[in-house]
Amino acid sequence: MRQLTYTGPNTIEWLDVPEPKLQGLNEALVRPTIVARCDVDPLIIVGRSPMPPPIALGHEFVADVVEVGKDVQSVRPGQSVIVPFQVSCGSCAYCAGGATASCNAIAARSAYGFGAYSGDFGGALSDLVRVPFADAMLLELPEGVTPEAIASADNVPDAWRSVGPFLSDGAKAPVLIVGGGAVSIGLYAAGIAVAMGSPQVDYIDTNRERLDLAQSFGATSIEGPPPERAGEYPITVDASANVDGLHCAINSTAPEGVCTSIGIYFGETTPLPLLAMYNRGITFKTGRVNARPALPHVLELIRDGRFKPEKLITKRLAWEEAAGEYASRAVKLIVKR
């Protein structure tokens, strides 16, 4: 089968590789039909990540089920399914507690689209993908939700976890999002915060296109580099992947508020204003999203028509165009078979 592969800095190509096979009774084989490019993929392609090549690319996708093991009960061949990017068993102590990113039934960081760094589970830009824990991982695509709306099944849940849990009880809290690094995640967070009833969603960025997209979700755009402090917000999000943006988000978090950093800081050390955090008693959250438990919450917002993540799609590629165009500039790029 063919698999789009990052083979070195600024080099991606279709390679012929063996087809995956079922290895257990609770597994499935799926055929990706639409793949969204994650915010981290451009960094991988230019060699700015710690993940060494070769990497089978793609980990945000919707697929058709091709084959299932005898014990699989939740899906059947022919169904269209959403595939979380993280591989998780659904039954270990961590998964049972909602921490699927820390599943201890498999190797740490197991996921699609990151090569040996995450267990070599292949990538979504392939003819077939093996899903080890089909019943625990796969979600049937619901009626009323288009594949384009939920193709970004990593970045959209990542955005939800930064604002959704803190607004889900009906809290009417203002939200600040500092964008620029995790380009789509910060914008998705703005859209979700508006959809969940936040009375004030402010989005900071230097890029006019992203500022306009934030406004299309109903957020207030603030153009310019992040200031040292942008005000006082009970909920703040650092999607900047930049120390100045990180400090702005932290310094703008109200006493007893929550700041979630979804940008990835690849350096060994990143300075934090710990005394200011201590004095205001804020909660600071970072780490990988628990994607599978977050997906139903996102799907509810999409089904209700409150949140339209497909607004961020700024480039659409046919499958055959992926090798030449996957690295091209776009807020959210999708590849359709």
Chain segment 12-31, per-residue pLDDT in tens:
999 999 999 999 999 999 99
Taking CA 126 as the corner, what is the angle to CA 122 and CA 128, rounded to the nearest 5 degrees? 85
pLDDT of residue 208: 97
Superfamily of domain 155-285: NAD(P)-binding Rossmann-like Domain (3.40.50.720)
- The DSSP H or E segment spanning 283 is strand 283-285
Q: Which residues contact 1 (CB under 8 A, 6 or more apart)?
A: 16, 17, 18, 19, 126, 127, 128
CA dist 9 and 330 (Å) reads 19
Angle at 162 (CA atoms; ends 201, 59), nearest 5 degrees: 120
Segment 151-208, tens digit of pLDDT? 999 999 999 999 999 998 878 899 999 999 999 999 999 999 999 999 999 999 999 9
> Is residue 322 within 8 Å of residue 336, measured between CB atoms?
no
For CATH 3.90.180.10, the residue range(s) in the chain are 2-153+291-336
Closest CA to 208 of 224, 194, 219: 224
The CATH 3.40.50.720 portion of the chain extends over 155-285
Q: CA 113 to CA 91: how far, in whole Å?
A: 23
pLDDT tens digits in sequence order for the chain, 337 residues long: 999 999 999 999 999 999 999 999 999 999 999 999 999 999 999 998 889 999 999 999 999 999 999 999 999 999 999 999 999 999 999 999 999 999 999 999 999 999 999 999 999 999 999 999 999 999 999 999 999 999 999 999 999 999 999 998 878 899 999 999 999 999 999 999 999 999 999 999 999 999 999 999 999 999 999 999 999 999 999 999 999 999 999 999 999 999 999 989 987 799 999 999 999 999 999 999 999 999 999 999 999 999 999 999 999 999 999 999 999 999 999 999 9
* Residue 259, pLDDT score: 98
- Write down the residue that tokens 């996102």 correspond to: 298
CB neighbour class for 261 (10 Å; exposed up to 12, middle 13-18, buried from 19): buried
The sign one gets for the Cα dihedral 20, 333, 242, 238 is negative
CB 204 within 8 A of CB 237: no
In the three-class reduction of DSSP (H, G, I as helix; E, B as strand; rest coil), residue 279 is classed as helix
Q: Would you tell me the crossing angle of helices 183-195 and 155-167 to the nearest 10 degrees? A: 40
| Structure tokens, 299 | 């799907």
- Which architecture, in CATH terms, is 2-153+291-336? Alpha-Beta Complex (3.90)
Nearest C-alpha neighbor of 162 from the set 296, 251, 254, 285: 285
User: Sheet harboring 220-223: ordered strands across?
Assistant: 220-223, 201-205, 175-178, 233-238, 253-261, 283-285
Q: Which 8-state DSSP code applies to residue 231?
A: -
Instruction: Let me know if 141 is exposed, middle or buried by CB neighbors in 10 A (0-12, 13-18, 19+).
Output: buried
Residue 169: what residue type?
D
